[in-house]
Amino acid sequence: MTTAPTLADIAAALQGYDPQSLTVASASAFLQQLVQPITGTETLPLRDALGRVLAGDVVSPLDVPAHDNSAMDGYAFDGSALVPGAPLTLRVVGKALAGAAWTGRVGAGECVKIMTGAVMPAGLDTVVPQEFTQAANAPAAHSAGERAGGTTTSATATATASEYIHIPADVLRPGDNRRLRGEDLMQGRVALARGALITPAALGLLASLGLPTVAVQRRLRVAYFSTGDEILSLGESPREGAVYDSNRYTVLGLLTRLGAEVIDLGVVRDEPALLEAAFCQAAQQADAIITSGGVSVGEADHTRTMMKALGDVAFWRIAMRPGRPMAVGRIDSKKITAKSGSNARTVGASSYQNHTELNPNGAILFGLPGNPVAVMVTFLALVRPALLRMMGCTHPTPPLLRAVSTQAIRKKPGRTEYQRGLVSVGEGGTLQVRTTGNQGSGVLSSMVQANGLIVLHHDQASVQSGEVVEVMVFEGVV
């Protein structure tokens, strides 16, 4: 068993690490060192593998395509007959269909009508698209031969003896419109590498290899609960000073979009015994634990105390807006085992189940702030990339888009800001972006209106109208 680095080990390796004034870049680098890919795989039917992570390299068992074939509906012929500046007339002696190869012999001055995907007949290397051709009369020599009852091919032709096509000069070159054997995938080569995210395109590629199943990483198990006496579960009656638990549903949605197996532990009151039970249950069942609320300094919050008691946890103040407070670390599996007896009460609908294949070093903890927008921004900027690494996913993160700001945006250097924005296409096809208005960390409606986050980097100052900014788009994520 590999011993995981402690938080102190990771911090010592990061230049300028200061948990009370941490840049987003430093926080991201810390988390990438803290988390490791999970173990455990399963084999799934191809139709069930969408969104999963490939557990190993897939080596192509065959060439794709398996034969040279036509990329067009048209006529296949020997491209050496093309002469620059000169038209060409060819006699049609057969027809090749996709799935029904034509096996006759093609002589000089002859061609085969061919459909897209049909195997190229032997000796032919060029396809003229049907729309480039015209019907033609037989050349004089051919006409005389036909009147005498002769033929120019030893194969039985499916076309009539009088069918000819005319190809104008210089409309194609030898080899055009032919797909080569193995040009997509070559037998024995890696078709998809371990860690690849199985997208719809990847499903099609795997199917093209004739593979009915695929080995994938098991799903990442993530436990979530909200904390605080002011949090109401849906169905409870409103009361003064209380709010309904929106964070639970936004985080569950984000995790589901990510493809994680979610363990929903609901709302946990700010009582030490209940918090201990929730952390124990979460660590027994999950690879990672996400909480919201209780990570800021506050007299009524017991969450911080319980996190420290059960694991190796750091409490950060990140130079970002929204989402400054955050707790990260590892809930110690040994401490959990000692506490998971009669004193630890089960929380939520799930029963205790210790998954033996989980990380023996303990569950990774992400303690998020309580404000709804801060929760989502912190998840997108910091937690989601860490969870993808835990999933073993090597799929590249989508790049930030560049768009022209249509308004001035106030910003002081010294922190990274994520402002909710609306990206649209301006004149000339240029991307442009504006904010959704009120950027308060509790204005959840702004996340619904937005289609991306305007990312104003740590050293960046105020933005003028017409200036280019970077945007993290929501499509497929939020």
pLDDT tens for each residue of 117-154: 999 999 999 999 999 999 988 776 555 445 444 444 43
Q: How many residues does the chain have?
A: 478
pTM of the predicted model as reported, rounded to 2 decimal places: 0.85
Per-residue pLDDT tens over the stretch 187-245: 999 999 999 999 999 999 999 999 999 999 999 999 999 998 899 999 999 999 999 99
pLDDT-derived band at 350 (thresholds 50, 70, 90) equals: very low
CA nearest to 55, candidates 392, 388, 287, 397? 392
φ, ψ at 263 (rounded to 5°): -110, 105
Over residues 268-312, the pLDDT tens digits come to 998 889 999 999 999 999 999 999 988 876 545 678 888 888 989
40-86 pLDDT per residue, tens: 999 999 999 999 999 999 999 999 999 999 999 999 999 999 999 99
Expressed in angstroms, the distance from the first to the final Cα of the chain is 36
Alpha-carbon Rg of the chain, whole angstroms? 32
Q: Would you state the pLDDT for residue 388?
A: 97
Q: Among 93-97, 139-143, 215-219, 459-463, which is the least confidently predicted range? A: 139-143
Q: Looking at 178-285, which runs of residues are DSSP E strands?
A: 178-179, 190-192, 213-217, 221-227, 231-232, 243-244, 261-268
Q: What is the pLDDT of residue 3?
A: 78
Q: What is the pLDDT of residue 325?
A: 94
> Which one-letter DSSP state was computed for residue 381?
I
Which pLDDT score, from 0 to 100, does residue 37 have? 95
More confident residue, 23 or 295: 23
Contact at 8 Å (CB) between 92 and 164?
A: yes
**What DSSP character marks residue 383?**
I
Q: Rounded to the nearest 10 degrees, how much is the dihedral formed by the CA atoms of 367, 388, 277, 273? A: 0
∠ CA 206-260-263 to the nearest 5 degrees?
150
Kindly state the average pLDDT of the residues 418-436. 95
- Name the residue among 365, 350, 390 with its Cα closest to residue 279: 365
Q: Tell me the one-letter amino acid at 301.
A: D
pLDDT value at 390 more than 80: yes
Q: Average pLDDT of 443-472?
A: 96
Residue 382's nearest CA partner among 397, 372, 392 is 397
Give the pLDDT of residue 336: 66
